[in-house]
Amino acid sequence: MRFSTDRLAKLQKALEAIDAAIITDPYNRRYLLGFDTSDGTLVVKADKVTFITDSRYIEFARASVPAEVKVVEANLACDSVRAVRRALGNAATIALEFEKMSVSSFKAMETRYTKCMFVAIDDTLDTLRTVKDESEIERMKAAQQLTDDVFYEMLKVIHLGQSEKQIAAEIASRLLTNGADWFSFTPIVAAGANGSKPHAVPGDTVVKTGDFVTMDFGCLLDGYCSDMTRTVAVGGCDKEKERVYETVLRAQTAGIRAAKAGVLGSVVHQAALDIIASAGFGHFFKHGFGHGLGLEIHENPRASLSYVKPLPEGTVISAEPGIYIPGKFGVRIEDVIIIRENNAENITESPKELIILD
């Protein structure tokens, strides 16, 4: 991942009256430093930034971390504690990732720094990560393109008698073959009545004539996630399924049209819900219209009834309304959109008209 030194500078500016911040969450570390490790502590102060890691990553860290960050090797737990203490210096107010910490980790901090006051830094980091810079958007577009490519390939291999597990295995294999670093989540495949479960686990259910098959999948590419869902019919489609599918598609279109900078996440969700409810399926729409994504597959902000905050320009969210009828079938259509000043830019290119496979 190419690194932007602006990120650390923005965090340092946001600290203001706070003496230091301790960053241990791997996603926040990656966002701020530009590379991935399973270990390490980042201590950020207004005038100094220190990254403390062990011998597994020290060579890579020294070669990859920006020059203005001091890299310290600490091979033992006690070494790491001492290194963090030295990096903190006389800090009296320390910002921690409360939402990422265990109770035991916080109690250990209280024990070590009895004279310090602890405050949360989660909202600050969340705000920084919510608005994607152009380098992040470039990566997300590339990841989404790869996902689109796999969907086109899947249209050629899905057939009657195939199991959900077999389809999921094809998706996983093709994501990696096409260049993905890994999956942004385990692929979801739901056939027939299993489609009523939004997060169905692929099983031995086989595709039968007239079934809807819902595929929800994404990849990790250069640290960033993609996400998409398509529902296709196999061997035919009855009028009820057609009506539900068209309702979901119209709802997604309405939500995307409503999405732009400054609009509340709840307003975007409501635009889609109004379409679904007016068609008589309101109680079958069981989740929010969309969620933020980036380094993680689920991030803030949200497009849901409970998210009554404005969507900032430059944030990336999913657009995924669905209708789920228990015991019968389900339909979900999902794209990824970038919130722009006056509209939403859709970066998913796979077709959305109802596809009926032979």
Q: Is 36 helix (H, G, I), strand (E, B) or coil?
A: coil
The arithmetic mean of pLDDT across residues 8-36, rounded, is 92
**pLDDT at position 356, please?**
98
User: Which residues make beta-bridge pairs with 310?
Assistant: 264
Asked if residue 160 lies in contact with residue 209, where contact means CB atoms within 8 angstroms, the answer is yes
Q: In whole numbers, what is the pLDDT of the chain averaged over residues?
A: 95
- Domain co-membership, 163 together with 83: no
**pLDDT at position 5, please?**
67
Asked if residue 207 lies in contact with residue 319, where contact means CB atoms within 8 angstroms, the answer is no
| The token pair that represents 89 in the structure block | 């210096």
| The token pair that represents 234 in the structure block | 């196999």
State which residues form the domain around 100.
Answer: 6-129
The arithmetic mean of pLDDT across residues 176-200, rounded, is 98
Percent share of the chain, pLDDT over 70 = 99
For residue 32, pLDDT beyond 50: yes
Burial class (CB in 10 A: 0-12, 13-18, 19+), 199: exposed
The arithmetic mean of pLDDT across residues 124-143, rounded, is 96
Among 102, 129, 156, residue at a domain's last position: 129
- Domain co-membership, 202 together with 98: no
The arithmetic mean of pLDDT across residues 36-64, rounded, is 90
Look at the alpha carbons of 250, 291, 336, 240 in this order and tell me if their dihedral is positive or negative. negative
Convert the pLDDT of each residue in 195-209 to its tens digit: 999 999 999 999 999
Contacts for 57-60 with beta carbons within 8 Å, 24 or more apart?
Answer: 60/35
> DSSP letters of 296-342?
SSSEEEEESTT--SBPPTT-EEEE--EEEETTTEEEE-BEEEEE-SS
Convert the pLDDT of each residue in 69-112 to its tens digit: 899 999 887 889 999 999 999 999 999 999 999 999 999 999 99
The arithmetic mean of pLDDT across residues 142-152, rounded, is 98
Convert the pLDDT of each residue in 55-72 to its tens digit: 888 898 888 888 788 999
Estimate the crossing angle of helix 122-130 against helix 6-15, to 10 degrees: 140
- Domain co-membership, 185 together with 288: yes
- Domain co-membership, 250 together with 113: no
Convert the pLDDT of each residue in 272-328 to its tens digit: 999 999 999 999 999 999 999 999 999 999 999 999 999 999 999 999 999 999 999
Asked if residue 288 lies in contact with residue 269, where contact means CB atoms within 8 angstroms, the answer is yes
- Domain co-membership, 205 together with 296: yes
- Domain co-membership, 145 together with 92: no
For residue 3, pLDDT beyond 50: no
- Domain co-membership, 189 together with 320: yes
In degrees and rounded to multiples of 5, residue 338 shows phi and psi of -105, 130
Among 96, 129, 162, residue at a domain's last position: 129
Among 90, 114, 129, residue at a domain's last position: 129
Q: Output Rg (C-alpha) for the chain, integer angstroms.
A: 23
Q: Is 351 helix (H, G, I), strand (E, B) or coil?
A: coil
The arithmetic mean of pLDDT across residues 35-44, rounded, is 88
Q: In terms of Cα–Cα distance, which of 170, 215, 222, 208 is closest to 332?
A: 215
Query: How many whole angstroms separate alpha carbon 258 and alpha carbon 103?
Result: 41
Percent share of the chain, pLDDT over 90 = 88
